[in-house]
Amino acid sequence: MSKIKHYETMFILKPTLTEEETVGQIESIRAIIEKNGGEIISFDNVGQRELAYEIEKCKRGYYYVIYFQGNPAGIAEIERNYRMNENLIRFIFIKYDSKKEIASWTKMSDEAAKKANK
Task: Give pLDDT, residue 20.
Answer: 94
**What is the model's pTM?**
0.89
- Pairing status of strand 58-70 against strand 88-96: unpaired
pLDDT at 1 over 60: no
Cβ of 73: how many Cβ atoms within 10 Å? 11
Q: Where are the beta strands (DSSP E) in 56-103?
A: 58-70, 88-96
To the nearest whole number, what is the mean pLDDT of the chain? Answer: 90
Task: Give pLDDT, residue 93.
Answer: 94
Q: Note the pLDDT tens digit of each residue in 34-88.
A: 999 999 999 999 999 999 999 888 899 999 999 999 988 899 999 999 999 999 9
Distance (Å, rounded) from C-alpha 23 to C-alpha 12? 13
How far does CA 20 lie from the centroid of its chain?
18
